[in-house]
Amino acid sequence: MKDSEITIKLINKIGKESCHRGHKIGDTFNYADDRGKLCPMAMHVAFPYIDIIKYGGSPPKASNGEVCFCCPDSDVINVFKIERSIKNDKKDN
């Protein structure tokens, strides 16, 4: 059975202040497994993108073709990338 996995990765930082949750460039979160680890404000922005991806849609893409969004904290402005990959699970007999 094929299932999709959604990964959220912090790829850039534009604002001058540090993230109040301590997130740093390179931090990666698995949507299914790491709930509660990603800042709730960032997750609030990510959710519509994730929902579109989960149901087979194509959310808006950055000029480089990646699906990206920004943290809503104007002092921090972390930039995240969302990726979907297909994973193969064992078939139930």
| Pairwise CA distance, residues 22 & 49, whole Å | 23
Mean of per-residue pLDDT scores for the chain: 89
| Pairwise CA distance, residues 69 & 24, whole Å | 15
User: 28-30 and 78-88: which strand pairing?
Assistant: unpaired
Residue 10 has pLDDT above 80, yes or no: yes
pLDDT of residue 18: 95
pLDDT of residue 62: 87
Average pLDDT over residues 49-78: 92
Confidence of residue 90 (pLDDT cuts 50, 70, 90): low
pLDDT of residue 56: 86
17-51 residue pLDDT tens: 999 999 999 999 999 899 899 999 999 999 999 99
How many Å separate Cα 31 from the centre of its chain? 7
Provide the edge-to-edge strand list for the sheet that holds 67-70.
28-30, 2-13, 78-88, 67-70
Residue 68 has pLDDT above 80, yes or no: yes
Are 39 and 19 contacting, i.e. CB atoms less than 8 angstroms apart?
A: yes
